[in-house]
Amino acid sequence: MLERIRIVLIGTSHPGNIGATARAMHNMGLADLALVAPRGESRSAEAISRASGADKILHHAPVYDDLESAVADCRLVVGASARSRTLPWPMLTPRALGERLPAELAEADARVALVFGREDTGLTNAELQRCHAHVHIPTNPDYSSLNLAAAVQVLAYECRLAWLAHQPTDATPEADPAPAMPRDAEAEAAKAAASAEHEAVFGIAWDHPPASHADLERFFDHLERTLIALEFHDPDKPRQLMARLRRLYMRARPDQMEINILRGILSATEKKTATRDPGES
């Protein structure tokens, strides 16, 4: 889908912006760049430097004389506009644009163009009127001039999010989570199952399974004994001490390794206290 989204830059003055656009596109998985009447040398050293490894996109970008030719094969053409002009036009937010793309690009040969104007004056009214819709990136009303490549970055980001959301749910769209998991398939499956619970909480595969309820309770018993030995806790005047500690630790959903560490600390504390008791008496 992403390869059929074309970024069209019209009348760009600064080659650095073309390079930075190529980089922003490549980062988000887009590859189809078209230039309309660029005003500088679009493949200058500065453009290539700012493309930072994405210069393949730059070198492949065709140059057209006008918008018409650049978007002739596109089914949907959306123009980036700072604000609505005199004549109201269908207006999309970047998010709404992204959400429309999977359906727009469902057919294998469907193409969509996102059109960006000049750094200084944007798109002309004639160009805007060649668009099916306009997209406006919400900006600070006191300072609305987005850098060209920054505007491309935001829209390309929304395109990528829409594409990721459209992947089958069993896919792993986020690149390469593999290193988080052990290689061995069986261990991997077990670990995946174990970490699923933490994943819901933390949004990431976890390295150790969550501690069981019984592990947690043993930890709280151990903690309370230790706090009594430290004379920090008086069970006859409990205040809310144990309740507050329970709330803190349970909120964190400790994993098995973390509980082992916490219990190790408690044992070390008990040992220091115990071995020194005779010395004290």
Interface positions, 145-184, toward its own copies (CB under 8 A): 145-147, 149-150, 153-154, 157, 160-161, 164, 173-178, 180
- In the complex, the smallest distance separating the C-beta of residue 92 from its own copies, rounded to whole angstroms, is 6
The interface with its own copies within residues 209-228 (CB under 8 A) comprises 227
- In the complex, the smallest distance separating the C-beta of residue 8 from its own copies, rounded to whole angstroms, is 19
Number of residues that bind its own copies (CB under 8 A): 80
- For its own copies, give the closer residue by CB, 196 or 230: 230
Is residue 10 within 8 A of residue 36, CB to CB? The reply is yes
Farthest-apart Cα atoms in the chain, separation: 95
- In the complex, the smallest distance separating the C-beta of residue 69 from its own copies, rounded to whole angstroms, is 27
- In the complex, the smallest distance separating the C-beta of residue 208 from its own copies, rounded to whole angstroms, is 9
- In the complex, the smallest distance separating the C-beta of residue 169 from its own copies, rounded to whole angstroms, is 15
The one segment of 50-58, 61-69, 123-131, 184-192 that binds its own copies by CB under 8 A: 50-58
**Using CA atoms, how far apart are residues 223 and 215, in angstroms rounded to an integer?**
12
- In the complex, the smallest distance separating the C-beta of residue 87 from its own copies, rounded to whole angstroms, is 7
Site string for its own copies, 193-212 (x = CB under 8 A): ---------xxxxxx-----
Which listed residue (10, 54, 113, 115) binds its own copies by CB under 8 A?
A: 54
SS3 112: strand
Q: Does 3 bind its own copies (CB under 8 A)?
A: no
The interface with its own copies within residues 58-117 (CB under 8 A) comprises 83-84, 87-93, 95-96
**Using CA atoms, how far apart are residues 87 and 105, in angstroms rounded to an integer?**
28
- For its own copies, give the closer residue by CB, 33 or 70: 33
**Using CA atoms, how far apart are residues 275 and 255, in angstroms rounded to an integer?**
30
Q: Does 254 bind its own copies (CB under 8 A)?
A: yes
- Residue 104 carries which side chain, given as an amino acid letter? E
Q: Does 128 bind its own copies (CB under 8 A)?
A: no
HSE of 84 in the Cβ direction (CA atoms, 13 Å)? 9
Residues 6+ apart with CB under 8 A from 205: 177, 180, 181, 192, 195, 198, 199
Is residue 156 within 8 A of residue 7, CB to CB? The reply is yes
- For its own copies, give the closer residue by CB, 66 or 182: 182
**Using CA atoms, how far apart are residues 22 and 153, in angstroms rounded to an integer?**
10
Scan for tokens 């019984």, then name that residue. 214
Instruction: Give the number of other Cβ atoms within 10 Å of residue 173's Cβ.
Output: 14
- For its own copies, give the closer residue by CB, 63 or 103: 103
β-bridge mates for residue 114, sequence order: 7, 78
SS3 115: strand
Is residue 254 within 8 A of residue 211, CB to CB? The reply is yes
Is residue 257 within 8 A of residue 198, CB to CB? The reply is no
Q: Does 23 bind its own copies (CB under 8 A)?
A: yes
Which listed residue (129, 230, 234, 238) binds its own copies by CB under 8 A?
A: 230
